[in-house]
Structure 1
Amino acid sequence: MAVSSSTPAPPGTTGAPARTGARPARRPRGEGQWALGHREPLNPNERMKADDDPLNVRARIENIYAHRGFASIDPADLRGRFRWWGLYTQRKAGIDGGRTAVLEPHELEDEHFMLRVRIDGGQLDLDQLRTIANISRRYARDTADITDRQNIQFHWIRVEDMPAIWRQLEAVGLQTTEACGDCPRIVLGSPVAGVAEAELIDSTPAIDEIVRRYVGNQEYSNLPRKFKTSISWLVDTPYEANDVAFLGVVHPDYGPGFDVWVGGGLSTNPMLAKRLGVWVPLAEVAEVWAGVVSIFRDYGYRRLRNRARLKFLVADWGVERFREVLEKEYLGRSLLDGPPPELPEKPIDHIGVHRQHDGRHYVGAAPVVGRVSGSQLLELAEVAAAHGSGRVRLTPYQKLLVLDVEADRTESLVTALRGIGLEAAPSAWRRGTMACTGIEYCKLAIVETKARGQELVARLEERLREFDADISIHINGCPNACARTQTADIGLKGQLVVGPDGQQVEGFQVHLGGGLGMAQGQTAGFGRKLRGLKTTAEELPEYVERVARRYLASRSPGESFAQWVVRVDEEELR
């Protein structure tokens, strides 16, 4: 009788030798699934969480570490539990990418922190925006990057300042709770939820309910790995790259609701989320979300960290079994079958001037690769207020929107945004380029990303000023795909490569023709990775220019870059 590695062996099938003198049969190792009785800590991360719920570390930060300083921090807190409150030690300056994988954590880390602020759905009022800006200026050396998870990321934070930072954030309704860690991370939402003309349901109440009921709840604070969520009526989030996603759809009998997807995730083993085939009304989204998270908590793989994401469980079970377990064990009822969503022909990023359902307008603007500052955000708050707006939104593409602007003020707003370095009519290069944190601050990175991205955009704007197509470029400093490299037209994975003089230098593996969230035939999924296709960082602008010019020269009418990449010979892509 065959025994699955994730299922306890039947009595009498192990422990006895098959023949005299033979070794005893080895008992198959479980995958660390709690629901199957495998609750023993199986790796250092699981032991850390079993020893003390990571949410408890805030009290130690406020009562001990903030008073005694960095040297007083217990290593298990510093490199483990601090993440549950949005804190990672940042990279010590001057350590090159070749040493990333060989140095011990204490050798890589500075005595300052990166801090992520939860901004679920990307929604900020001006008091919140000003608070973020002031924290940046006072405590974070004016850093405040916009990430592709719709949040703000500070750098240079000291543990001594965390109690004051929390007081200021929480006074305006913001938090850092579970912004990182093996827990429910920031919930993505449409940046135009509640104002879009094409929206039939505002998903904000579901996001708010999830945050209120489950974020910071110890029933869900010990998951096998991070858990990412997207809830949006419109197809304007990278929903296929999330552990669970709810996407707007109209049921022929029951009306507007949400289609559910599970098991997405990128990193070194990318998988796209799969449809469960169910329809869920707005009022039940939080309940179904909790059921999916609970399956992950109870059945997720905890033995090996590199197999601990929900995508591996979904791949092994299949969606039929996953739905059955969700309905029978966690919801106690069947879900309604539902139709698939209608997908757009290209991604929606909301850049430019757009009409809202109430007749006013929103304006979407692009910084360069998400890099902004506290001073710039403070100016943004003043510009928005001067144009009658009380709210801004962050997008999953490192962009931002100003809402509720009267039609006759939009032109003035576009000009004012340009004056503070935010472009509402950006070039294709500025609009389509994203970059992760990179070696400047990240301990996992191998190469520089933000400065390279800014340089790349500037060079391409100069050399291809009249470029008339959309090409997305995602730059990542390591293989972990925080910038979603596999799903870009041009995905760049940081690594060391051999330069012209035979020495190792910063460079990128090139991945071409990826895409998410578009109608069938408009994207190549994860695209095309050509063996040996790499570029040095120095040669990157020249490479992108060369490929872009070839695309312009040989594309068919209406042919997207991703479609062109699939069609042409490999030599055209080198």
Structure 2
Amino acid sequence: MAENELSAVEQLKASRNPLKVIEDIYKEAQEGIPLSADYIGLLKWYGMYPHINGDETEDKKYFMKRIKLVDTKMNLEQLEVMAKIGQEYAQGLVDFTDRQNVQFHFIQIKDMPAILDLLESVGLTSRMASGDGPRPIMTSAIGGIDPEEIIDASYLVKEVDTYFDANEDRFCNFPRKYKIGISGCGRHTAAHEIQDVAFTAFKNKNDEVLFDLTLAGGLSKSKQIAYRANRYVKAEQVKDVAVVCAEIFRDHGNRANRNKARVRHLVNEWGLEKFVAEIETRLGYELQEGLVEPKITSFENRNHFGIHAAKQEGESFIGFATNSGRVAGEDFKAMSDICNKYNAAGLSLTSTQNFIIYGVKTQDAQALADEIDALGYPYNPSPFRARLQSCTGREFCKFGITETKEYAKKVVLELEEKNPDFKENLMIAISGCGNGCSHPQISDIGFVGTKVRDEEGNRVEGYDVILGGHLQGEKGSRIAHKTGVKVTATKLVDFVGDLIASYQADNLGQTTFKDYLNTVELSK
């Protein structure tokens, strides 16, 4: 195949006609024909992954479906449709992800035409929600709403996403996924430090808004904090820089080794200077030199829980916590009903598996907050609930060694019950495998799924413990360090409780639990 020639799969991706693919898949499934690799690749392009684990025969007919939220927001009509899908087609199993998307489980191929029609009716899509191409862009959940934001970057997010979507024939054959962040949030909630390419707004001494360009961040097994490119980008340059970075990755990313097929590996192979020079060559102009990193918010302060005055006069927005990102279908429907009851503008997703309801009349804010709280989604959450993240886990993921979502929900409840007086900021992540999709690598306490021996010598579900992860720009960020300690799943809550108790007994000269975790040495 010629270098620029699209394969049949790529042509079908670019055809914008998923129903033909779905009809073929359903027909073959009815005849008992297993899914081909091509079909699986196409389904991923439309945000679908087969349920891998579970019942060997029954579970094979089900899929996880991810919906792309371009600016993290769902208006009232969109929220109502999403709630309908969750209840009627996903068996009430809904997850909010750390990439600000919604995932539905137990989706069947036969229901896809109806689901696609529902999504299209309110301007939503699952195209390019996953697969080897540009992923949904990380941004502020309250862009255009937060009075403290540096700039409302929502229009830039939409501009870049629209460009990739309109030119998908050029961007549907990446070596692997490509993750971008574009944010004007004053609290830096888009986590630019772990994106392939990110644009972080700041104001210079002349009060001009610029974007600090960072490259080559990412987690998984080859985890790395992004480098500053030492370049500032103007708002009108953001789309062009995002596109040429994508072209460079498409043209030069490693296609021989999937484990090396990420932007960070290419930057590390070439060197940062060469990569930046290639950006400017393709742009046809030099970017503004930017040697000074903007002041970046510490990771634990990147939250918007509670009731806040919005930029719009007479309106508020309210931040709520989930429990490990999972939302029952009936709760999702209740959220939609409550938003409609108070005529709120909509609901948006944060990068920590939580959510914000925006466009709430200030006089209604407390009443709405109390009704959502009563569902089990607090606006003043405990430290354990506020920042505990979990991945899909063994329940549905082929890489999962341990079960995570339902387990993590129980962990939160037990931690709250056993440590009612603990009030410090804390991020805990529970991951079902070493890929770390729940971000244990940047958490205060990370639990990475593995098999361990219990006291009787049986192999059971357990976790490798890593400590001290943090985000705060290029210089202040750190990847969590390995402790060499393993805990069984049944002992995880006690392990956290013992850490808290040891800190309270002797803080080792540290003023916060977060700093203590980066200092303490654990007994193996």
TM-score of the pair, normalised by structure 1: 0.85
Partner residue of 1:358 out of 269, 288, 312? 312
1:253-292 paired onto structure 2 within 5 Å: 253=206, 255-292=208-245
Residues 340, 276 of structure 1: CA spacing in aligned structure 2 closer, same or farther, 3 A cutoff? Answer: same
SS of 2:61's equivalent in the other structure is strand
Q: 1:489 aligns with which of 441, 444, 452?
A: 444
CA contact (8 A) 1:366 1:424 kept: yes
- Once the 2 structures are TM-superposed, how far is the Cα of residue 562 of structure 1 from its aligned partner? 3.4
Q: How does 1:434-453 map to 2 (within 5 A)?
A: 434-453=389-408
- How much has 1:434 moved relative to structure 2? 0.8
Mapping of residues 357-396 of structure 1, within 5 Å: 357-359=311-313, 360-396=315-351
Q: Cα offset for 1:40?
A: 11
User: What does residue 506 of structure 2 align with?
Assistant: 554
Rounded to whole Å, the distance in 1 between the matches of 2:126 and 2:9 is 19
Deviations 1:41-76 (A, max 9, x none): 9xxxx98867x5544572532442345545356512
| Greater mean alpha carbon deviation, residues 557-566 or residues 312-321 | 557-566
Offset, 1:545: 0.8
1:187 matched to 2:137: yes
2:268 to 304, 315, 320: 315
1:219 aligns with 2:173: no
* CA–CA separation in structure 1 for the residues paired with 2:217 and 2:460: 33
Q: What is the CA-CA distance between 1:242 and the residue it aligns to?
A: 1.1
1:476: how far off?
0.7
1:471 to 426, 431, 440: 426
Question: 5+ residue gaps in structure 1?
Answer: 1-33, 96-106
2 CA distance for matches of 1:163 and 1:155?
16
Matched position secondary structure for 1:377: helix
1:158 maps to 2:108: yes
- CA offsets per residue over residues 177-225 of structure 1, 9 Å max, x none? 1111110011111011101121131111111112211126110011010
Are 2:401 and 2:449, in contact at CA under 8 Å, matched by a contact in 1? Answer: yes
Q: Displacement, 1:481? A: 1.2
Q: How many angstroms apart in 1 are the aligned matches of 2:494 and 2:407?
A: 13
> SS at the partner of 1:570?
coil
Aligned residues of 1:126 and 1:391 also touching (Cα < 8 A): yes
Equivalent position of 1:424 in the other structure: 379
Contact 2:462 2:488 in 1 (8 A): yes
> Which residue type is aligned with residue 445 of structure 2?
I
Instruction: Provide the C-alpha distance between the structure 2 equivalents of 1:200 and 1:544, rounded to a whole number of angstroms.
Output: 37
Distance in 2 (CA, whole Å) between partners of 1:471 and 1:108 is 39
What does residue range 39-438 of structure 1 map to in structure 2 within 5 Å? Answer: 54-56=13-15, 58-67=18-27, 69=29, 71-72=32-33, 74-94=35-55, 110-215=60-165, 217-234=168-185, 235-253=188-206, 255-328=208-281, 330-338=282-290, 339-345=292-298, 346-359=300-313, 360-438=315-393
What amino acid is aligned across from residue 81 of structure 1 in structure 2? L
Report the AA paired with residue 516 of structure 2: W
Give me the whole-angstrom Cα distance separating, in 2, the residues matched to 1:246 and 1:134.
Answer: 35
Letter in 2 for 1:65: I
Q: Distance in 2 between matches of 1:534 and 1:207?
A: 41
Q: Distance in 2 between matches of 1:518 and 1:265?
A: 13
- Aligned pair count reads 516
Between the aligned partners of 1:254 and 1:73, the Cα distance in structure 2 is 59
Instruction: Name the CA distance, whole Å, in 1 between partners of 2:510 and 2:348.
Output: 32
Number of the residue aligned with 1:18 = none
C-alpha root-mean-square deviation of aligned residues, in Å? 2.4
Q: Is the 8 A contact 2:306 2:379 kept in 1?
A: yes
Contact residue 229 and residue 243 of structure 1 kept, 8 A:
yes
- Taking the aligned partners of 1:218 and 1:351, their CA distance within structure 2 comes to 41
Worse overlay, 255-264 or 56-65: 56-65
Pair member with larger Rg: 1
1:103 matched to which residue of 2? none
Write the letter of the residue equivalent to 1:302.
R
Kept in 2, the 8 Å contact 1:347–1:518? The answer is: no
TM-score in terms of structure 2 length: 0.93
Distance of 1:535 and 1:94 partners within structure 2:
27
The one-letter code of the counterpart of 2:47 is: G
Partner amino acid, structure 2, of 1:265: G
CA distance in 2, matches of 1:304, 1:53: 25
User: What residue identity is the alignment partner of 1:547?
Assistant: L
Counterpart Cα distance in 2 of 1:519 and 1:177: 32
Aligned to 1:101: none
C-alpha distance 402-556 of structure 1, shift in aligned 2 (>3 A): farther
Whether the aligned pair in 1 keeps the contact of 2:150 and 2:202 (CA below 8 Å) is no
Q: Is the 8 A contact 1:136 1:142 kept in 2?
A: yes
Q: Deviations over 1:331-370 (max 9, x none)?
A: 1111112342211233412111122223422110111001
Q: Aligned equivalents of 2:149 and 2:387: distance in 1?
A: 24
8 Å contact kept, 2:47–2:130: yes
Task: Tell me which moved more, 440-449 or 278-287.
Answer: 278-287
CA distance in 2, matches of 1:290, 1:73: 37
Give the Cα separation in 2 of the matches to 1:174 and 1:475: 30
Does the 8 A contact of 1:225 with 1:308 survive in 2?
A: yes
Task: Report if aligned partners of 1:136, 1:154 keep a CA contact under 8 Å in 2.
Answer: yes
5 Å matches for 1:459-538? Answer: 459-517=414-472, 525-531=478-484, 533-538=485-490
Residues 468 and 476 of structure 1, relative CA distance in 2, 3 Å threshold: same
Contact kept in structure 2, 1:260 and 1:279, CA below 8 Å: yes
Aligned-partner SS, 1:405:
strand
Aligned letter for 2:398? K
TM superposition shift of 1:270: 0.5
- Residue 155 of structure 1: SS of its match in structure 2? strand
Change (3 A) 1:315 1:241: same
